[in-house]
Structure 1
Amino acid sequence: MQSSQSGRRTRTPSVGGASSLYSYTSTTRSVARSIKSVQVAWYKRPLVQDAFFTDIQTGAMLTAIFSMMICLFTIATAILDIYCLGMTKPGVTHYGFYIMSFQYVYVGNAHVRNCLIVFALFSAMAAVALFVMSCMLIKGLRREMEKDMVPWLWTSAVFIFWRTFAIIFASIVNDMIFGYHIAMCIMWIAFIVIGALGWIVVYSLYLELSDLTKLEDLAHLRMGTMSSLNMTQSIAGSRPTTPHSTVSTAQIV
């Protein structure tokens, strides 16, 4: 006599099945943790893969050369601005009017004049520092040493921020009807944009070299570990071992 529920199959979970489910869940969580640990923050990823019209190494070298040229230009214009602002100060006797026209130079409030002098002076000092860091950058690019790029990255970022603030202030207080101020405004806008793009290229190359250095360190660490293990096995001799350990299974006499 068959039961009315003979067509149904009851399935009782076994201990092995529960263990398999638990191990599967643990494996999934461990994989998720591994993926999360491998994920790199956005600011630690290379922002660009090339320098828009050339490879990233050449772009970084061109950026260093461009940075040196901008430093020389900044020093020259800062010296000119300080000289002109000093010559046009009320009460100063000079004969510069016979050489060049000073009509474009600011002659208003004394505090604004002093601010323009301070901006020019600090711009020249920042340009000197950036020139030195650009030389270090070229050296680091030739040797592919990412540590030599860090000073230039910080100095260039400060220089770009400072010159952006300085040109905005100068364009506001100066009369933009003169060709000198218009040219300086347009040129510095172009210089700041190109400098920011060059900074992105150098920073991306720095991240790539840092990743390569980490991979090389891991490779050297693995090679050192393997060589130490091989040395240990050679000292112990070629003895039969179990598949799960290096403990010898030979009989001890």
Structure 2
Amino acid sequence: MNYGRKTPSTYRSNHSVYSHTTGRSSTNLHSIKSRSMRSVRVPWYQRPILKNNQYIDIQKNSMLIGIFAIFLALFTIGTAIFDIYCLAMAAPGSTHYGYYIISYEFVYVGNKFVRNMLIVFALFSLILGIVILFTSILLVIALRKEYERKILPWLNTFAVFTIWRSLALIFFAIVNDLIFAYNIIMVLLWSVALVVCIYGWCVVYSLFLELTNLTKLEDLAHLRMGTMASLHASAANSLAGSRPTTPHSTVSTMPVG
């Protein structure tokens, strides 16, 4: 079975707003899905976390989350570069000028190991931000064309990114002085961003499960149709082979004496 091809969405028995052409009936797929889900027990990790209701539209929210992830990746890259620059400029024992442009009083200059951990968090955030930027662009393309297999890279990398940034936020909030405006703003912005990240991952994961289940049901329907067609063909061939043939009558001519 090919789980990577285009699959139409069946939310509210309408065609997908992102699909341009589709020849399959979403109503039939929805009825097949309802009958199959009643007869098959789905594991808990394969059940959608969120479902469509009057407040949530999974498809539109997934597209919005994809766009949000692109801007979040750009923000992460920018702040990570700035943090690495500030930590390098404010290294203990370094001499530099230009305090009239920026003051490095908000930068941590205490324990060497803590400072190195801040650099590590910033460096890996920079790398993950670049990865999220590419996977988010791929996610937007996959959502427009409904290729559920191409959603997987974003789900995996964004989960790692969210966990990493959560640890970085906790560490950043503990070791840095929250009397400076930059530190306070970063803690508040990342607190809100991580809440949106968790919600967004749940939305996209729910859409991914819906598309994957529809693809499986469609493959099962095609398999049943192919089996029935082959059975009808074999039955027709057997009837044609067992049909009795009428023998030709032979007429003997007697000589007239």
Relative distance call for 1:180 and 1:67 in structure 2 (3 A) is same
**Structure 2 equivalent of residue 55 of structure 1:** 57
- The AA in structure 2 aligned to 1:158 is V
Q: 1:65 aligns with which of 60, 64, 67?
A: 67
**Which runs of structure 2 are paired with 1:173-184 in the superposition (5 Å)?**
173-184=175-186
Q: Give the RMSD, CA atoms, in angstroms.
A: 2.4
Which residue does 1:108 correspond to in 2?
A: 110
Pairwise CA distance, 1:92: 1.9
Rounded Cα–Cα distance in structure 1 between residues aligned with 2:232 and 2:37: 32
Matches within 5 A, 1:241-252: none
- How many angstroms does 1:35 deviate by? 9.4
Amino acid at match of 2:135: M
* Within-5 A mapping of 1:169-248: 169-237=171-239
Amino acid at match of 1:63: I
Q: Name the SS for the 1:97 alignment partner.
A: coil
Deviations 1:113-134 (A, max 9, x none): 1111110000010111111111
Q: Contact conserved, 1:45 with 1:204, CA < 8 A, in 2?
A: yes
Equivalent residue number for residue 145 of structure 2: 143
Amino acid at match of 2:128: A
The 2-side partners of 1:187 and 1:144 are apart by: 31
Q: Retained in 2: the 8 A contact 1:65–1:134?
A: yes
Q: Distance in 1 between matches of 2:90 and 2:210?
A: 51
Which stretch shifts more, 184-193 or 87-96?
A: 87-96
State the alpha-carbon separation in 1 of the partners of residues 236 and 45 from structure 2.
46
Match for 1:218: what amino acid?
L
- Contact 1:167–1:188 (Cα < 8 Å) also in 2: yes
Structure number with the bigger relative contact order (C-alpha 8 A, sep ≥ 6) is 2
Shift of 1:238: 5.3
Equivalent pair of 1:51/1:201 in contact (CA under 8 Å): no
Contact 1:130 1:152 in 2 (8 A): yes
Measure, in 2, the Cα distance between the counterparts of 1:110 and 1:51.
52
Amino acid at match of 2:158: S
Please list the CA deviations of residues 175-211 of structure 1 after superposition, one character each: whole Å capped at 9, or x if unmatched: 0111111111111110000010010000100110011
Tell me by how many angstroms 1:97 deviates.
Answer: 1.1
Q: For the residues of structure 2 that align with 1:166 and 1:159, how far apart are their CA atoms?
A: 10
- Normalising by structure 2, we get a TM-score of 0.76
Q: Is the Cα contact below 8 Å between 1:50 and 1:201 reproduced in 2?
A: no
Structure 1 spans left out of the alignment, 5+ residues: 1-33, 240-247
TM-score by length of 1: 0.77
Q: Residue 69 of structure 1 aligns to which amino acid in structure 2?
A: F
Counting aligned pairs with the same residue, the percent is: 52
**Equivalences for 1:118-133 in 2 at 5 Å?**
118-133=120-135
Partner of 1:155: 157
**What is the total number of aligned residue pairs between the two structures?**
212
